[in-house]
Every structure is written in structure tokens, then in C-alpha cells.
Amino acid sequence: MNGQRVETRRNLLPREYEALKAQSDPSRVPIYKKRRCFNWQNRYFQLDVFESPRKGLVLLEAYLESKQFQNQLLPPWWKLTEVTDDKSYSMYEMAFIDGVLTKN
């Protein structure tokens, strides 16, 4: 929206979940990860450590107002590579069965 990403979330009722689960794509596998959330310099971060299908992959999600200030707002002890626009890091792509075989 206006050049920015917009994400909406909502909780599903159990029957909605079951109905959607019945429509799941058989070419995809579940993604298992451990998420750690933390604040650093008044910024909220989510650190995801993947267990499957991309075991060992670690992604940091940061909520930043502007890319211009990105380097100043991220913890300086981390060496990061931005993958924001790399579709191969989307949950949808990582769940693809063929991707599991070539990326593990």
C-alpha cells in the first residue's frame, strides 16, 4: 500500500482451520521453527531458527520505518544479509517439497 508492505493477521476458529487444512497443497511440507521475540533500542525483532525444512537457517525480522536508517537500527554484532525481496526465503517457497530436497 503506497509502496509499503502491508500484512494482516487474524486468529482462525478451529472449524476454519480444519476446513483450510483439508485444502492444503500436497506439494508443500510443514515448516517448523523456533521463534524468539525481543526488543533492542526500542525496536521489535523476531528471530526464527528453522528446524525443518531448512534446518539451521536463521532469519531476523525487523520492523523498521525506513531502509535509510536500517544499519543504525540493527544490532551491530550481527552480520546480516538482506533477503526481504528474495522469494526463495518466503514461507511458501521454502515449504515446496522439491526445495526441501535441494536445500537441506
Q: Is residue 2 part of a domain?
A: no
- Give the count of domains, the chain: 1
Is 82 inside a domain boundary? yes
For residue 35, what are the CA distances in angstroms to 29, 48, 50? 19, 4, 9
Whether 18 is in a domain gets the answer no
Residue 41 has pLDDT above 90, yes or no: no
> Which pLDDT score, from 0 to 100, does residue 85 have?
86
Whether residue 45 is contained in a domain is answered as: yes
Domain around 60: 31-103
Strand partners, 48: 35, 59
41 vs 11 pLDDT, higher one: 11
d(CA 104, CA 97): 11
pTM here?
Answer: 0.71
Helices (H), the chain: 14-21, 70-73, 91-94, 97-103
**By the 8 A CB rule, do 64 and 70 touch?**
yes
- Domain assignment of residue 26, yes or no: no
